[in-house]
Amino acid sequence: MVKSLFVYGVLGVLLVPVLCDLITVCVEDDEDLRVDCRINPKPSQYNSYEFSWSSGSKETLINTNVSGSAADVQFKDQSYVEELEPHGYRMTLSGFTHTLPYNTTYICKISKVVASVYVEREHLLPCSAVSMFLKTSCSWIVCLLLFFCHTHS
């Protein structure tokens, strides 16, 4: 029993960073591209966000509210950003799903903390699948981990 818990615990530790990522990218039913960025900024810090992608050696800014920088012209008025609970930002981009670069690294920065994820265009998942997956597997694994830690303390 203890041994199998240990195995699940180790498995959980390995899986949590993969499944409960700081940045997730998916395609909505209406074909908008959605990037969720769940970086938790330090409370004392002045909050700002920046969403971009890079393909090849070129990084293109999609949306930001860092003063002094602006989104690439092609993305002007194509995206919007909303706040996520308990922290983080969600960026939604319309009209680019069929023209996304093939091999893209999606990047978000919140108050200078950076998260990025590499996704090939064919491997973008529908958001409905992602949120189901995150809800079930993240909370399940976290529960398991808590249980595991609890029984050993």
Enter the tokens of residue 5: 């818990």
In the complex, the smallest distance separating the C-beta of residue 101 from ligand NAG, rounded to whole angstroms, is 8
In the complex, the smallest distance separating the C-beta of residue 60 from ligand NAG, rounded to whole angstroms, is 16
Residue from 19, 41, 48, 54 that binds ligand NAG (CB under 6 A)? 48
What are 116's strand-pairing partners?
107
Q: Is the peptide bond before 17 cis (omega within 30 degrees of 0)?
A: no
Residue from 4, 44, 57, 67 that binds ligand NAG (CB under 6 A)? 67
Alpha-carbon gap, residue 105 to 84, rounded angstroms: 22
Our finding on whether 136 is near ligand NAG (CB under 6 A) is: no
Our finding on whether 99 is near ligand NAG (CB under 6 A) is: no
In the complex, the smallest distance separating the C-beta of residue 102 from ligand NAG, rounded to whole angstroms, is 4
Residue 138, classed as helix, strand or coil, is helix
Alpha-carbon gap, residue 10 to 14, rounded angstroms: 6
- Among residues 148, 121, 115, 153, the alpha carbon closest in space to that of 7 is found at 148
Our finding on whether 47 is near ligand NAG (CB under 6 A) is: yes
Site for ligand NAG, rule CB under 6 A: 47-48, 65-67, 83, 102-103, 120
